[in-house]
Amino acid sequence: MIEIILLEWLEFAVRWVHIITAIAWIGSSFYFIALDLGLKKNSNLPYGVTGEEWQVHGGGFYNIQKYSIAPPNLPQDLIWFKWESYSTWLSGFFLLAIVYYGGADLYLIDTEIADINNFQAIFISLGSILFGWIIYNTACKSPLGNNSNLLLLLLFFFLLFLSWFYTSIFSGRAAFLHLGAITATLMTANVFFIIIPNQKIVVSDLKAGRKPDPKFGIIAKQRSTHNNYLTLPVIFFMLSSHYPLAFASELNWAIAPLVFLLGVSIRHYFNTYHATKKKLYWTWIITFIIFAVIIGLSSYKKNSLSLSENVIDLERIYNLEITDLNNEVHDIISARCTMCHAREPLWDGFLHPPKGFVVENKEDIKRYARQVYVQSAVSKAMPPNNISYMEDIERFTIQYWYENTQIK
């Protein structure tokens, strides 16, 4: 019992740290992107300064100047921005391990998707993240890296492949989380292995009085452009576990790549705006179209009941009186959900019902009908890993019940 309580709090604490560090990372990166794009030239700037910006914040005025190569005398106390990124990755990895590796059979695996054991699932998770970086980094360093647009296009196809791969090996929840995790790993690895080391070479060249090779700056810029476009999708994937329509619908593999396109269309608007103050409204039209397609895809459900086999069950359900239908749904939920979602759950390791969600009696079911419908009929998010062997006909019964008796 005490371990469960400690583990709960550990998870909460790590999640708290993770969100705080992520805010710091993304916040500083948005800040610098906007600053960099908005720098203005004028003739009074000191030698070596390529642009400046005036800002007002917190009761004071700031005059920021950018030396594109370096100031004549490099100051001793340079502030580096890197721990925001590293600590986000470290806390995120720790959280992945606690939630998805610790709870692999509930969260990571879906035996209806791929019948793998905990060890295999964790191995695939770690291996794919590592290989993802190796493949991406090799592509960037190869001659392909000289053509930025082609590289971005290939990166998109790589993410498309990963969407297919993860959704065919992990539960939908874990697949989306891994798309976020691998993307965020590329971003942090870009900072750790490329951007910061290149900047360090430039700094040491300058200190030694050598002229730094401009290629280091160009490479760092390319990686930071990738990071810029990947930021918003990462946040989408990290939040998606709260929304089963995103991760647990049948076409989740097709939704994921569109999320990456959303990242590009939204960032393009802001990048252009910060650079030129031009408002490209058409990018929002594209954004809304992509979002509408995502919504459409999430609502697609192929009829998984083979009619000839289920014709008797279906006839029976269609002919039930409302009270009997209510009883039927209550029976299904008691058999498939209540071991976890009761006031005192029987499931090992749960002191409280997960997310405080309780469907124990008919009143609970009526009150939370919509959640039950979304989690177990429209999507197959619940039961996790279909651990209580919910059948398609039962999901259909819930759908029929909700659509015919609960929607007013």
Write the DSSP assignment of 241-306 as a string of letters: GG-HHHHSSTTHHHHHHHHHHHHHHHHHHHHHHHHH----HHHHHHHHHHHHHHHHHHH-----S-
Smaller CB separation from ligand HEC, 265 or 379: 379
Site for ligand HEC in 274-303 (CB under 6 A): none
- Asked whether the bond before 212 is cis by omega within 30 degrees of 0, the reply is no
Angstrom distance (rounded) from CA 245 to CA 19: 23
E strand or H helix at 63:
strand 60-67
The residue at minimum Cβ distance from ligand HEC is: 337
Of the candidate spans 129-137, 249-257, 304-312, 352-360, the one that interacts with ligand HEC by CB under 6 A turns out to be 352-360
Can residue 212 be called a binding residue for ligand HEC (CB under 6 A)? no
- Among positions 171, 252, 390, 402, the unique one binding ligand HEC when judged by CB under 6 A: 390
Can residue 221 be called a binding residue for ligand HEC (CB under 6 A)? no
User: Taking the CA of residue 345 as centre, how many other CA atoms within 13 Å lie in the half-sphere pointing to its CB?
Assistant: 19
Task: Give the number of other CB atoms < 10 A from CB of residue 198.
Answer: 20
Can residue 341 be called a binding residue for ligand HEC (CB under 6 A)? yes
Q: How far is the CB of 368 from ligand HEC (least distance, A)?
A: 7
Angstrom distance (rounded) from CA 369 to CA 31: 43
Stretch 229-258: interaction string toward ligand HEC, x if CB under 6 A: ------------xx----------------
Write the DSSP assignment of 158-222 as a string of letters: HHHHHHHHHHTTS-HHHHHHHHHHHHHHHHHHIIIIIIHHHHHHHHHHHHTTPPPPHHHHHHHHH
Can residue 355 be called a binding residue for ligand HEC (CB under 6 A)? yes
- Among positions 21, 252, 265, 376, the unique one binding ligand HEC when judged by CB under 6 A: 376
CA distances from 53 to 32, 46, 171, 217, 289 (A): 12, 14, 48, 21, 35
Q: How far is the CB of 380 from ligand HEC (least distance, A)?
A: 9
Q: How far is the CB of 60 from ligand HEC (least distance, A)?
A: 43
Smaller CB separation from ligand HEC, 219 or 235: 235
User: Taking the CA of residue 55 as centre, how many other CA atoms within 13 Å lie in the half-sphere pointing to its CB?
Assistant: 14
Q: Which residue type sits at 158?
A: F
CA distances from 244 to 111, 258, 371 (A): 18, 17, 10
- Among positions 361, 388, 399, 406, the unique one binding ligand HEC when judged by CB under 6 A: 388
Can residue 98 be called a binding residue for ligand HEC (CB under 6 A)? no
| Both structure tokens of 19 | 């969100």
Can residue 347 be called a binding residue for ligand HEC (CB under 6 A)? yes
Of the candidate spans 23-31, 40-48, 114-122, 380-388, the one that interacts with ligand HEC by CB under 6 A turns out to be 380-388
Site for ligand HEC in 32-71 (CB under 6 A): none
- Among positions 340, 342, 358, 369, the unique one binding ligand HEC when judged by CB under 6 A: 340
Can residue 330 be called a binding residue for ligand HEC (CB under 6 A)? no
Of the candidate spans 220-228, 256-264, 301-309, 354-362, the one that interacts with ligand HEC by CB under 6 A turns out to be 354-362
Of the candidate spans 142-150, 183-191, 227-235, 377-385, the one that interacts with ligand HEC by CB under 6 A turns out to be 377-385
Smaller CB separation from ligand HEC, 115 or 315: 115
> What burial class does residue 13 get, using C-beta atoms within 10 Å of its C-beta: 0-12 exposed, 13-18 middle, 19+ buried?
exposed
- Among positions 30, 270, 291, 357, the unique one binding ligand HEC when judged by CB under 6 A: 357
CB 180 within 8 A of CB 234: yes
CB 220 within 8 A of CB 195: yes
- Among positions 22, 124, 262, 372, the unique one binding ligand HEC when judged by CB under 6 A: 372
Can residue 336 be called a binding residue for ligand HEC (CB under 6 A)? yes
Smaller CB separation from ligand HEC, 265 or 385: 385
Can residue 210 be called a binding residue for ligand HEC (CB under 6 A)? no
CB 394 within 8 A of CB 331: no
328-340 burial code (b ≥16 CB/10 A, e <16): bbbebbeebbbbb
CB 109 within 8 A of CB 171: yes
**Site residues (vs ligand HEC, CB under 6 A):** 106, 241-242, 333, 336-337, 339-341, 347, 354-355, 357, 371-372, 375-376, 382-384, 387-388, 390
